[in-house]
Chain A
Amino acid sequence: MKVTLWGTRGSLAAPGPETARYGGNTSCVGVRGREGSVLVLDAGTGIRRLGASLDASLRRIDILLTHMHMDHIQGLGFFSPLYHPDLDVHIWGPASTNLSLRERLMRYLSPPLFPVSLRELPCAITLHEVPCGEVDIGEFRVSTALVCHPGPTVGYRIAEARGSVLTYLPDHEPALGALTFPSLPRAWTSGGSLAAEADLLIHDSQYNSHEYLGHVGWGHSSLKQTLDFATLSEVKQLVPFHHDPGHTDADLDLLMEEAIAYANPAYRVCPGVEGATFEI
């Protein structure tokens, strides 16, 4: 599969010269299979450019939302395929205990926050509530599970028939409440089964270690925790993702360099840079 990062920023879009290299768009990742299946992971502001890049002959697209925080859905209304009447769009995302996925999406895709209502979109939309165990989407087998982040939030494990595995955990705090991390086996770690031995793990790394101490319980990880989680998960490659909007390119370069030098991981680390592509 080919994986493209269209938005790597967390919390809030952060355009500007000081963030131009890592990118200012919020979470969005495109996945294209060898047989042409297209998955879109989250609908942050990066989804607008992804939409413009799609082949006009495409007839189905699946959008996999991890949760309903604004930085993960804000681009949805600007995703051009939603306005194509001959396109089947499947949206996967978590319901809450009280509201369906449709009701949760309608809170954004309706006035006054957005002028077009979900039911007015010309494309054929089908909604699927997750987590729903394992499901086949096109050529992919997709596994979902709730993970540690405020509100219903899932992670995705996307496997190809030939065995390549991508795990997407953009907002994730597996270290929450642990005296030391990691201290428990993978089975007892949030996201552990989703990330186990993945070929590519895209994972939250919003903070440096000092910043994390002031944000415990906010649902995000420090880069050091992310490196430790990737080690526990025995992944082959890690992409630190969901960068804090206050971190400049220079900040991120330094953060990555220091953390990677300290951890000396056995796997490859490729910082999450907007526009980067990975073949796995």
Chain B
Amino acid sequence: MSTSKSIQMILARQLASSIATPILLVDAGGALIYFNEPAEAIFNQRFDETGEMSSGEWTALIAAVDDERNPLPPENRPMMRVLIERHPVSQTMWTRSSDGEWRHLHITAFPLIGEKNVLFGAMSIFWEI
């Protein structure tokens, strides 16, 4: 069973679960703790099947390249940049999951910071271009 979540993450998940746009949630360590139903197409898997995944696990599921088709290492992808830089990030990239299909995405990610400047994690919204 997963560890107890902060109210900030609980409310973020509730919001994501009621939004028709693909949304990912990661904790402060980069582990993927939730993705909503519209995001299942990006992973080609359902969250109910994958459950939570470490940062290494979930970034390995998705190949990512920039607009010049240069591979993007995990630390240069929006979610990890947000956690490192602690400010919002917006960038376009191409991704491919196990279905083999490349998707051109605009991703906006932002940190979830609570009282006393505690970083709880980050949320990202995917927009297919």
Contacts and interface: CB of A to CB of B under 8 A. Distances in A.
| A, B co-complexed | yes
Contact of B1 (A97, A147, A185): A185
A interface: dominant SS: loop
A146 B7 contact: yes
Interface residues of B, number: 17
A99 to B, nearest CB: 11
A148 B10 contact: yes
A268 B55 CA distance: 43
A177 B15 contact: yes
B70 interface: no
Given A95-B115, A185-B2, A188-B2, A177 B14 contact: yes
Contacts, number: 42
A145 interface: yes
A177 B4 contact: no
A190 to B, nearest CB: 5
A95 B37 CA distance: 35
Contacts of A192: 4
Interface in A118-161: 145-148, 152
A101 to B, nearest CB: 11
Given A97-B115, A176-B14, A177-B15, A146 B2 contact: no
A4 interface: no
B113 to A, nearest CB: 10
Nearest to B113: A97
A187 B7 contact: no
A97 B6 CA distance: 16
Given A95-B115, A177-B11, A187 B17 contact: no
B14 A147 contact: no
Interface string B1-25: 1111111101101110110000000
B115 A188 contact: no
Contacts of B11: 148, 176-177
Contacts of A213: none
17 contacts: A96-B115, A97-B115, A146-B7, A147-B7, A176-B11, A176-B14, A177-B14, A177-B17, A179-B17, A185-B1, A186-B1, A187-B2, A187-B3, A187-B4, A188-B13, A190-B7, A193-B4
Interface of A: 95-97, 145-148, 152, 176-179, 185-190, 192-193
